[in-house]
Amino acid sequence: MNDAYWGFNHPPFQGTPTEPFFHCGQIHEEALARLRFLAENQRSLGLLVGASGSGKTSLLHAFARSAAQNGERVVLMDLSSLGPDQLIQQLAHHIGIRLGNATTPFATWRALVDRLAEYGYQRSPTVLLLDNADEASRNVLGHVVRLLQFEPAIRSPLTIILAANTNRFRRIGQRLLDISELRLELGAWSAAETAEYLDAALQSAGATRTLFDDAAAVRLQIFSGGLASSTRRLAESALAIGVTRNRSHIDVATVDAAYKQVCMESCVGILEGLAAA
């Protein structure tokens, strides 16, 4: 109903990090440029940090898509759901190593190291993007350290980028922090960047006019804290409320109502979670 009312050809704010639309404002554009610098110069380790909802995952997917289009070898994995053996198995699979059913963890590791060394001698690097590194186990992070330490005599065939929450990034351990060559921090969108994102997302969905007036965009940025995920949720709610109120555009009052609705939904979710526990 929202799409038909506003004239969209698809929901503008219901995308996922894996989808092609990615608004590259100044903050994310600078971060992408620095990630490219790490990869192009074959640096060993970079750290991408940001608050929850700041767009780290979306940025990694955008970088991976761009690199793949350029024919580069990029592997993207979420460390929060992987054990140490799974990390090595999946990485081996992604770089083209065929593993038999009876392959031992040691054999997998040896095959992986040999293939990466081969790429190093061929000057054909691999970029490994590891999301949610602050949620990884110590054993998984230990494997990451070992990947960075093998074959020191040749130019590094592997660039690793770890993404972590600003408040928890030290959980990756002092060793990885010490050898990190570049730390990138995603900040919050300004009011102008929020308005730019809203216009870009709406235009990608087929909108032919500006739907959020200037004051509404400023209010939305204040409520969202400039975080990408909160901005999307509030904007989606505001559009839905605009339909029920028969609005021709989104004003401050509509954003205020959306904020109250999102807060109420969050409180209900917390209470339901406590009741289930």
Is the model's pLDDT at 267 over the cut of 90?
no
CATH code, domain with 269: 1.10.8.60
Q: Are residues 171 and 34 in the same domain?
A: yes
Q: Are residues 159 and 202 in the same domain?
A: no
Average confidence (pLDDT) over 36-58: 90
Q: Are residues 172 and 223 in the same domain?
A: no
- Taking phi over 0 as left and psi of -120 to 50 as alpha, with beta for the rest, 246 belongs to left
Closest residue by Cα to residue 216 from 186, 254, 181: 254
Q: Are residues 174 and 244 in the same domain?
A: no
Q: Are residues 204 and 256 in the same domain?
A: yes
Q: Are residues 260 and 200 in the same domain?
A: yes
Which residues touch 83 (CB under 8 Å, ≥6 apart)?
137, 139, 140
Q: Are residues 60 and 145 in the same domain?
A: yes
Q: Are residues 172 and 230 in the same domain?
A: no
pLDDT tens, 204-229? 899 999 999 999 999 999 999 999 88
pLDDT tens, 230-242? 999 999 999 999 9
Domain membership flag for residue 6: no
Domain C-terminal end among 186, 203, 231: 186
Q: Are residues 158 and 258 in the same domain?
A: no
> CA–CA separation, 223 vs 216, rounded Å?
11
Is the model's pLDDT at 69 over the cut of 80?
yes
Which pLDDT value is given to residue 264? 86
> CA–CA separation, 115 vs 146, rounded Å?
15
Which pLDDT value is given to residue 175? 93
Q: Element (H or E) spanning 2, and its range?
A: helix 2-6
Which pLDDT value is given to residue 13? 86
With H, G, I as helix, E, B as strand and everything else as coil, classify residue 65: helix
**Contact call for residues 44 and 158 (beta carbons, < 8 A):** yes
Tokens for 120, please give them. 């190093």
Sign of CA dihedral 45, 141, 79, 231: negative
Domain membership flag for residue 230: yes
Average confidence (pLDDT) over 26-49: 89
Is the model's pLDDT at 262 over the cut of 70?
yes
Q: Are residues 45 and 147 in the same domain?
A: yes
Domain C-terminal end among 160, 186, 212: 186
Is the model's pLDDT at 152 over the cut of 50?
no
Tokens for 192, please give them. 């102008």
**Contact call for residues 111 and 92 (beta carbons, < 8 A):** yes
Domain membership flag for residue 19: no
> CA–CA separation, 15 vs 174, rounded Å?
36
AA letter at 168: R
For residue 73, the Cα-to-chain-centroid distance in whole angstroms is: 18
> CA–CA separation, 106 vs 104, rounded Å?
5
Q: Are residues 174 and 40 in the same domain?
A: yes
**For all residues of the chain together, what is the average pLDDT?**
87
pLDDT tens, 170-196? 999 999 999 999 999 988 899 999 999
Domain membership flag for residue 148: yes
Per the structure, the count of domains in the chain is 2
**What pTM was computed for the model?**
0.85
Average confidence (pLDDT) over 55-79: 90
Domain interval for residue 256: 189-276
Which pLDDT value is given to residue 117? 81
Q: Are residues 199 and 178 in the same domain?
A: no
